[in-house]
């Protein structure tokens, strides 16, 4: 079992990574809670796949009636909305859940972000535990306490910083994750590689290498990513000092692409993969790159897009406009670019023509019908 301590200013907690981690670690974390005070949040399909493992861990901790405190909502980014949070919180009130309760977020980033936000605002803040089930959630979204929901046209526009009580990541759960989701998660792994860790750029077989890794190697890679994230969160929990902003490598372009395609066409990781290729192109074009970057980005990231739908016919201007109206306006002017791998820079005032060329040429390159 890999144990990583996240020393955030507001709370310290462990991220526990390993096969069987939920059965092994969850019982001790919930055993002291009163009956009826442990709430599970998930999707119906996910609970039908892995509910047994979760249920037996809860029963081991004495919560034999756990199924009476389950809130399920449909899959998809379109349900990461305030209305879902309100439905959950209304139910928790009806169940008599108090601030001493704990909510378990059993799912990907959508479940984690939404549950964390519900926990942050229920009775002015209660505990929650992240039980990530996707690669994106294991290596990134479950750690660091950024929680929130989307508003129409504005992703993550309403949220909070609320650190979990613990994160338990069991890579065994990824065996049922659709291949497209796994490839999307690799974009976040490769992001850590470009920012901090050469080893993550040299996985045998590139982005598809994951599929061939052993369980032990998978746990090791997840733990490596979590260690990088923990180090950043330790220095800059609230994203004020510029350190945490580095984790947005590929995200300024990626979020704009997600917005321009209505948040449903691309998986989050796919949008970030395209965003990193755009950022590499912009770094070269703006003279920030000290070594060639584009080819390496293309080689590692374009295979992730093999199952993404074609963006043929997308209007590049729509992507650029979406960047302008990004809610994080201060980030609009700031791009994370690389001088070289593992040497990120926060760049302000990137010329508009550079941004435009990066978007147009990347879309034309990946989907030649657009050129």
Question: What does the binding site for ligand NAD look like in residue numbers (CB under 6 A)?
Answer: 43, 45-46, 49, 75, 77, 80, 107-111, 113, 133-134, 136-137, 140-141, 144, 146, 156, 173-174, 176-177, 181, 184, 267-269
Q: Are 219 and 16 in contact (CB under 8 A)?
A: no
Q: Are strands 70-72 and 102-107 parallel, antiparallel or unpaired?
A: unpaired
Helix segments in the chain, DSSP class H: 21-30, 44-60, 82-95, 109-121, 135-136, 179-195, 215-235, 251-260, 268-285, 294-301, 316-324, 329-332, 352-366
| CA gap 157, 149 in Å, rounded | 7
Nearest approach in angstroms of CB 107 to ligand NAD is: 6
Q: Are 297 and 250 in contact (CB under 8 A)?
A: no
Nearer to ligand NAD, 39 or 110 (CB): 110
**Rg from Cα positions in the chain:** 20
| CA gap 27, 33 in Å, rounded | 10
Nearer to ligand NAD, 101 or 108 (CB): 108
| CA gap 200, 215 in Å, rounded | 16
Nearest approach in angstroms of CB 136 to ligand NAD is: 3
Nearest approach in angstroms of CB 132 to ligand NAD is: 7
Which residues are CB-contacts of 104 (< 8 A; sequence separation ≥ 6)? 26, 30, 38, 39, 40, 41, 54, 115, 128, 129, 131
Nearer to ligand NAD, 137 or 363 (CB): 137
Nearer to ligand NAD, 164 or 284 (CB): 164
Nearest approach in angstroms of CB 50 to ligand NAD is: 6
Question: Residue 227: helix, strand or coil by DSSP?
Answer: helix
Nearer to ligand NAD, 118 or 289 (CB): 118
Nearest approach in angstroms of CB 131 to ligand NAD is: 10
Nearest approach in angstroms of CB 49 to ligand NAD is: 6
Nearest approach in angstroms of CB 31 to ligand NAD is: 25
Token code pair at residue 29 = 């974390």
What is the number of the residue whose Cβ is closest to ligand NAD? 109
Nearer to ligand NAD, 239 or 360 (CB): 239
| CA gap 121, 19 in Å, rounded | 32
Q: Beta-carbon neighbour count of residue 310 at 10 Å?
A: 12
Nearer to ligand NAD, 141 or 207 (CB): 141
């Amino acid at each position: 079992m890999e144990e990583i301590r996240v020393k955030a200013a507001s709370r310290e907690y462990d991220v526990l990574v390993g096969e069987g981690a939920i059965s092994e670690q969850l019982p001790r974390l919930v055993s002291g809670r009163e009956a009826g005070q442990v709430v599970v949040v998930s999707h119906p399909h996910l609970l039908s796949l892995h509910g047994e493992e979760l249920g037996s861990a809860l029963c081991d901790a004495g919560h034999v009636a756990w199924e009476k405190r389950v809130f399920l909502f449909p899959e998809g980014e379109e349900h990461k909305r305030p209305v879902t949070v309100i439905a959950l919180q209304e139910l928790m009130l009806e169940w008599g859940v108090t601030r001493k309760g704990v909510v378990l977020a059993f799912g990907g980033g959508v479940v984690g972000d939404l549950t964390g936000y519900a926990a942050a605002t229920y009775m002015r803040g209660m505990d929650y535990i992240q039980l990530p089930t996707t690669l994106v959630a294991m290596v990134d979204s479950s750690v660091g306490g950024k929680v929130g929901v989307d508003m129409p046209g504005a992703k993550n526009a309403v949220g909070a910083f609320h650190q979990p009580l613990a994160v338990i990541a069991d890579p065994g759960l990824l065996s049922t994750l659709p291949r497209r989701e796994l490839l999307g998660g690799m974009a976040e792994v490769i992001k850590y590689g470009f920012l901090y860790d050469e080893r993550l750029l040299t996985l045998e077989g590139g982005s598809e290498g994951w599929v061939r890794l052993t369980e032990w190697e998978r746990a090791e890679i997840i733990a490596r990513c979590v260690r990088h994230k923990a180090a950043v969160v330790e220095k800059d929990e609230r994203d004020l000092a510029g350190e945490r902003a580095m984790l947005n490598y590929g995200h300024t372009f990626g979020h704009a692409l997600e917005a321009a395609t209505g948040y449903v066409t691309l998986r989050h990781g796919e949008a970030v993969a395209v965003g990193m290729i755009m950022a590499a192109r912009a770094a070269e074009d703006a003279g920030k790159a000290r070594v060639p970057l584009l080819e390496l980005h293309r080689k590692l990231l374009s295979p992730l897009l093999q199952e993404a739908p074609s963006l043929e016919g997308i209007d590049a201007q729509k992507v650029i406009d979406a960047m302008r109206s990004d809610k994080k306006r201060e980030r609009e002017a700031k791009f994370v670019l690389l001088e070289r791998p593992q040497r990120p820079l926060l760049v302000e005032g990137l010329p508009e023509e550079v941004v435009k060329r990066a978007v147009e040429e990347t879309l034309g390159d990946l989907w030649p019908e657009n050129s």
